[in-house]
Structure 1
Amino acid sequence: MSRHEATTAVREPHTKGAISAFLRHHFRHFNAAALIEAAEAYKRHLDSGGVMMVTLAGAMSTAELGLSLAEMIRQGKVAAISCTGANLEEDLFNLVAHDHYERVPHYRDLTPQEEQALLERHMNRVTDTCIPEMEAMRRLEGALIEEWTRADRAGERYFPHEFLYRIIRSGALEQYYQIDPKDSWMVAAAERNLPIVVPGWEDSTTGNMYAGHCLNGEIKNVHTVRTGIEYMMSLANWYTETSARHSIGFFQIGGGIAGDFPICVVPMLHQDMQRPDIPMWGYFCQISDSTTSYGSYSGAVPNEKITWGKLAVDTPKFIIESDASIVAPLMFALILEQ
């Protein structure tokens, strides 16, 4: 039985609302209660006319968050996404190479020699999951280089996520699909043309590929892929236009640049552009297993963000100190009333 078949086999229909009912009955205290409260506040934010930005750090795409996030996108529960380049590409790696992935349940016990053996088989390990280079990374690279070089020759420029949207919509990868595309959050995002920002895209496998193709001369204009500052400018325009009609919430999975980059758009507009009329974020929740600390971004408590002009005193604030691969699907189930 393939890994895809094994995954599919356990996905049996469940009674509508059964997961939500279980959570509401059992999750009553501590981080469990915070999960319930944050999910209910997320729903209230949407019900009152607000919209939500979701940020993805860590390796949530390799953790197959698309199984729940895709439906959130389809049902209009997510208005924009900020993610690392790794999360952007790894959802598509999983889409085209799922059956070639390998789990390593005993990853904590691997010797350096066993890690080297994985490298020699071109199996790149992310915790307990190995991504196959040839079937995942090189398949996507083949489609990307066609789009990159075509745009380069035409003098066109696109953001990293826009190149992937073009590939998804063209059907160039469909022959390789190994999961139901309904379980790919990138496919769902492409269908809705969801705004995405990808700070630090250069620090990703496809970013490294792009640098290599620029170095070898296949791509003449390094600026064919738009990045960094232009992403912030695009986000500022989106936030300004959207916040004039809707309160915008911020749902942060993990920490790092995926969260810090987009949340800074508000203080940038207020302080650097002298636009105090721009509304603050209307909701904030972070799922993080980082140790609470004022010395780290990921571990800072939400109130610290008040001092940076990122959140207001009255912004609903939640932090769930737990593993996002467990918490995020449960919260999404509650929000979707599954």
Structure 2
Amino acid sequence: MGSTRGPISQFIERNYCHFNAAALVDAAKGYEAHLEAGGKMMVTLAGAMSTAELGISLAEMIRQDKIAIISCTGANLEEDIMNLVSHSHYKRVPHYRDLSPQDELDLKNNGFNRVTDTCIPENQAFRRLESHIYKLWKDANDNKQRYFPHEFMYKMLLSGELKQYYEIDPKNSWMLAAAEKNIPIVVPGWEDSTMGNIFASYCIMGEMNASTMKSGIEYMCWLADWYLNNSGGKGVGFFQIGGGIAGDFPICVVPMIYMDLRKKEIPLWSYFCQISDSTTSYGSYSGAVPNEKISWNKLDISTPKFVIESDATIVAPLIFAIQRRRLISVNQIQEHRFTAGYLTGSYWI
């Protein structure tokens, strides 16, 4: 995997030799080769990767320019900031598989919203953000200005108003890193996020105009322009974490440019990797193998293609750590719930 590696990378190369483990190594090498050849990378975030604290590894990837653009769900956009400002109020439920309907109701009545083993606090997370983002929405609405959902979030973060609430090291917030770098984000289907629901409620009550928030169609038009301007040379790779709209939406920009805008010279995605535990199946988009994307003008026959059928909360931080080539501490490894065991001090990944 490139230059001399430390004990963790050596361990991976020595032991991750077959099946999904080998796919992880191959995908990491492909990611690295793509960047070293001058390519750019889009990363797509589905599920609840922000609540899973992917920011610990993703933020550094952003700071080191290993990611050019992100597509994510509205939930991932907001939940990274929620973790930043209300982390101590979160509740972990390691026995979540054993919860009864009454247990779930008790969580609701105590102001918690459960995401697998983690419960997000309603008042300290959702409502805390609402009080600040509302002012930005209202100001834009009254001045007939329009922004994308992530642009409002960037404004809120860069204003410094949230610093009073920080409960984690801000270097572990990927949204803060993205705002400081001003990297582009595409947020398809933002309306189904909590902040999207809240904004919609203000529209229903007549306090906001829906047009104040730029739409998914505008995101697609913007992305087409971005792709046309950034797909030269080695091109743009596609690193997909999970399935769903975060990946489905942006990958379609290439066939749209090729087929509908009739720009036949447009390069296809030049690298593809998907981390997913979705079963490969017929008719399941998230479970489709990469070769299926060839007939849709998304990938070429020669595009490096990887599928890692595993838990993204385990796989993605490892691949990102390999790309970062920086000194990481065992505490950071433990933050991702890896078993550090006898290791102490700091190591080159």
Name the TM tier (shorter chain). Answer: over 0.9
State the shift of 1:277 in Å: 1.0
State the shift of 1:17 in Å: 2.9
**8 Å contact 1:52–1:79 — kept in the other structure?**
yes
Q: Secondary structure at the match of 2:203?
A: helix
Mapping for residues 290-301 of structure 1, pairs under 5 Å: 290-301=278-289
> Residue in 1 aligned with 2:167?
178
> Residue in 2 aligned with 1:12?
none
> Residue in 1 aligned with 2:101?
112
Mapping for residues 13-162 of structure 1, pairs under 5 Å: 17-162=6-151
State the shift of 1:294 in Å: 2.4
Cα distance between partner residues in 2 of 1:138 and 1:50: 40
1:238-270 alpha-carbon deviations (Å, 9 max, x no partner): 000011355100000000100010000000000
> Residue in 2 aligned with 1:7?
none
**8 Å contact 2:69–2:185 — kept in the other structure?**
yes
Matched, 1:284 2:256: no
**8 Å contact 1:251–1:286 — kept in the other structure?**
yes
Cα distance between partner residues in 1 of 2:81 and 2:324: 24
State the shift of 1:309 in Å: 1.0
> Residue in 2 aligned with 1:11?
none
**8 Å contact 1:122–1:132 — kept in the other structure?**
yes
> Residue in 1 aligned with 2:330?
none
Q: 1:261 aligns with which of 241, 249, 252?
A: 249
**8 Å contact 1:19–1:334 — kept in the other structure?**
no
Amino acid at match of 1:211: A
Unaligned stretches of 5+ in structure 2?
326-348
State the shift of 1:209 in Å: 0.4
Matched, 1:238 2:259: no
TM-score (norm 2): 0.91
Cα distance between partner residues in 1 of 2:166 and 2:233: 38
Query: RMSD value over aligned CA atoms?
Result: 0.9
Q: Secondary structure at the match of 1:164?
A: helix
Q: Secondary structure at the match of 1:202?
A: helix
Q: 1:222 aligns with which of 194, 203, 210?
A: 210
Identity value in percent: 66
Unaligned stretches of 5+ in structure 1?
1-15
Cα distance between partner residues in 1 of 2:7 and 2:230: 34
State the shift of 1:307 in Å: 1.3
Amino acid at match of 1:241: N
Number of positions where the alignment pairs a residue of Structure 1 with one of Structure 2:
322
> Residue in 2 aligned with 1:10?
none
Matched, 1:303 2:291: yes
Cα distance between partner residues in 2 of 1:198 and 1:278: 23
Cα distance between partner residues in 2 of 1:224 and 1:244: 33
Cα distance between partner residues in 1 of 2:235 and 2:188: 23
Q: 1:329 aligns with which of 317, 326, 330?
A: 317
**8 Å contact 1:19–1:333 — kept in the other structure?**
no
Amino acid at match of 1:194: I
1:292-337 alpha-carbon deviations (Å, 9 max, x no partner): 1121011110000111111111100000000101100011111123
> Residue in 2 aligned with 1:8?
none
Cα distance between partner residues in 2 of 1:210 and 1:183: 27
Q: 1:252 aligns with which of 227, 240, 243?
A: 240
Cα distance between partner residues in 2 of 1:45 and 1:267: 21
Amino acid at match of 2:164: Q
TM-score (norm 1): 0.94
Cα distance between partner residues in 1 of 2:123 and 2:201: 17
State the shift of 1:172 in Å: 1.4
Matched, 1:319 2:307: yes
**8 Å contact 1:91–1:184 — kept in the other structure?**
yes
- Compared CA separation, residues 112 and 320, structure 1 to 2 (3 A): same
1:122-154 alpha-carbon deviations (Å, 9 max, x no partner): 100000000000000001111110000000011
